[in-house]
Amino acid sequence: MKGKVFSWFRGTVRILIKGGSCERFLNLCAFHRINLWNLHPEKEGYTAWVTLDGFRRIRPLIRKSGAHIRITGKSGLPFFLYQNRRRKMIFAAILTACFSIFFLSLFIWDIRIEGNRTLSDEKIMDYLQEEGIHQGIWKSSIDYKLLASNMRKNFDGITWVSVKLEGTRLLVDLQENTDLRIREEAVYNASDLVSDADGTIVRIITRAGTPLVEAGTEVKKGDILISGRIDLLDDSGSVYGYRYVPADGDIYIQTALSYQDKISLWHQEKEYTGREKTSLVLKFGSAALVLPGLWPEKYSLSDKTTCTMQLKMMENFYLPVYFQQTSIKEYDLTEKKYSKKEAEAVLNGNLNHFLEKIQEKGVQIFQNDVKIEKTDAVCTAKGTIIVIVKAGERADTEQIELQKEGTPQG
Amino acid sequence: MFSVKMMKKKRREHFLEKLTSDAMIPKDTLPGNTCVSLTGQKEVIIENYKGILEYTSEKLIIMTSRCKIEISGKHLEICYYAKEEMKVTGLIQCVSYCRPKT
């Protein structure tokens, strides 16, 4: 059946069918393709809903069947317009609202960036700003293909970009190349992998080049781990030439990291006084309206939290109207001294945070020898952390010439 | 004369039924066949009928080209009534087919 919205726009009538041959009338309606719905029997006859168009065509059927019809209800846009025909301001307001929505839909009011991992939203937004793309820009003034291709050229790490428009939202979807190996191969030519830390080799897998170390070798910072020079041997086993390649491989090295953290036992702590004020601001573009009675109070020391919500009509139909809720909490600063346990807890927390952070980068913790010492004024965490890290940084391969008579063949 | 007509009609029906059965065509495509779709106990959709003979909140009798279909239950309501299809809701207790007496 037709949707309710469609029926509402066309107008519907609720009718009461009375008389001796109601069934005949119903069958005639069906035969003449006048659809009836919500048909149910009443004491006097039947009630049913019919479209306004259908109702206009039932007069001959009434006469033919001998039934009596009474209108018991009306609904829909034609009746609304007729009832409010004298209230011109309502129609003016509706028209203005429709026009405003249409006009606002011609601009971009929200920019969303998705898929970025190493590039920050701010960096991409700054780039878009440089390209002249910002909130409030005319939709048709953007060349989406050109923008996507410029983004690919400008950011090396981006492998794929899609710029599309959804409602009043500009959606920038991108994919970054996070595989460092692919980047390095593209950049470097004929290079060595040298150690970037002192330590012992734990594991080495060579993909290209000549490995100069093996598991268990002690190395110092700057030592060549995988050389980019490959010796070319003849049938007798003597070197007749060299081939230079970008060295490639995975080298894991066990190294010691020194760690030190210090906190003062005397510190300032926030104590909230309980006085709090919330203000609500309605923003339309750059114009702001603070709602009456909600002016923010000024405190000497306070924490300010702002929450901004953009008005939207549908999922992707954003409007340049913002509600900004700001809450200000007053606090006092008091001098306090950490107890031994508290200081230890703070230092342990900092250490754990540091360990978590380096583990996120792929570092394995092998041994932790950090110890906490306390004096009257300060508490110190000091020691070394033995870690296994992926080592190797690029350095140019020294190109040497063969000190032999004759030139290598091939 | 009447019996010859009836015989011809029956033969035609039999032939069409056999044809649809052999050709594996759905039987609801046969002309004159009424399609009654029951969903649970609360909804029935009827297709290909001639008209309503009687309708109360407890009983609905529908005329089809071959027989009468009687739906009995409680609080029966016709959700929509069109030329090809109608939907009846309510607590359906019984759907029966009554062949007209010849």
Q: A283 lies in a domain?
A: yes
Residues B56 and B81 in one domain: yes
Residues B9 and B37 in one domain: no
Residues A74 and A119 in one domain: no
Q: A148 lies in a domain?
A: yes
In a mutational test of the A interface, the residue from B58, B78, B87 whose CB has the highest number of chain A CBs within 10 Å is B78
Residues B42 and B86 in one domain: yes
pLDDT for position A78: 92
CB contact under 8 A, A41 and B81: no
ipTM above 0.85? no
Query: How many whole angstroms separate alpha carbon A21 and alpha carbon B70?
Result: 19
pLDDT for position B57: 92
CB contact under 8 A, B81 and A36: yes
Residues 6+ apart with CB under 8 A from A355: A365, A368, A385
Domain of B59: which CATH number?
2.60.40.2000
In chain A, which residues have their Cβ closer than 8 Å to the Cβ of B85? none
Domain of A51: which CATH number?
3.30.70.260
Q: Shortest CB distance from A30 goes to which of B53, B76, B83?
A: B83
Q: Tell me the average pLDDT across B5-32.
A: 76
Residues B20 and B36 in one domain: no
Q: A11 lies in a domain?
A: yes
CB contact under 8 A, A26 and B82: no
Identify any residues that bridge with A75 across adjacent strands, giving them in sequence order: A12
Whether the CB-CB separation of A289 and A336 falls below 8 Å is answered with no
In chain B, which residues have their Cβ closer than 8 Å to the Cβ of A33? 82-83
The 10 Å CB-count burial string (b at 16+, else e) for B1-34 is: eeeeeeeeeeeeeeebeeebeeeeeeeeeeeebb
Q: How many structural domains compose chain B?
A: 2
| Higher local confidence (pLDDT), B80 or A397 | B80
In a mutational test of the A interface, the residue from B81, B84, B91 whose CB has the highest number of chain A CBs within 10 Å is B81
Residues B48 and B75 in one domain: yes
pLDDT for position A295: 62
Residues B85 and B39 in one domain: yes
Domain of A136: which CATH number?
3.10.20.310
Residues 6+ apart with CB under 8 A from B60: B52, B54, B70, B71, B72, B76, B78, B88
Q: How many structural domains compose chain A?
A: 3
Residues B82 and B68 in one domain: yes
Q: A101 lies in a domain?
A: no
- Provide the residue range defining the domain that includes A19: 4-82
Residues A76 and A116 in one domain: no
Give me the residue label for tokens 């003979």: B53
pLDDT for position A182: 53
Residues B87 and B38 in one domain: yes
A162 closest CA partner among A152, A150, A148, A176: A148
Q: A48 lies in a domain?
A: yes
Last-in-domain residue among A126, A148, A176: A176
Residues B51 and B90 in one domain: yes
Q: A8 lies in a domain?
A: yes
Whether the CB-CB separation of B61 and B54 falls below 8 Å is answered with yes
Q: Tell me the average pLDDT across B44-72.
A: 92
Q: Tell me the average pLDDT across B69-98.
A: 93
Give me the residue label for tokens 């952390």: A385
pLDDT for position A409: 46
CB contact under 8 A, B78 and A31: no
Q: A54 lies in a domain?
A: yes
Query: How many whole angstroms separate alpha carbon B93 and alpha carbon B41?
Result: 7
Residues B26 and B46 in one domain: no
Give the CA count within 13 Å in the CB-facing half-sphere of B102: 6
Q: Residue-wise pLDDT tens for chain A (410 aa)?
A: 557 788 888 999 999 999 878 899 999 999 999 999 999 898 888 999 999 999 999 999 999 998 999 999 999 999 998 988 899 898 899 999 999 989 989 999 989 999 888 888 899 999 999 988 888 889 888 888 899 999 888 888 888 899 988 888 999 998 887 665 555 555 677 888 899 888 999 999 998 889 998 888 899 988 899 998 888 888 888 888 888 888 888 899 999 989 998 888 888 888 888 888 888 888 887 788 877 655 656 788 888 899 988 888 888 888 888 888 888 889 998 888 888 888 888 889 999 999 988 888 888 888 888 888 888 788 888 899 999 988 888 888 888 776 655 554 43
Last-in-domain residue among A176, A206, A227: A176
Residues B15 and B60 in one domain: no
Q: At CB < 8 Å, which residues of chain B contact A?
A: 50-57, 76-83
- Provide the residue range defining the domain that includes B24: 1-30
Q: A215 lies in a domain?
A: no
Last-in-domain residue among A176, A205, A228: A176
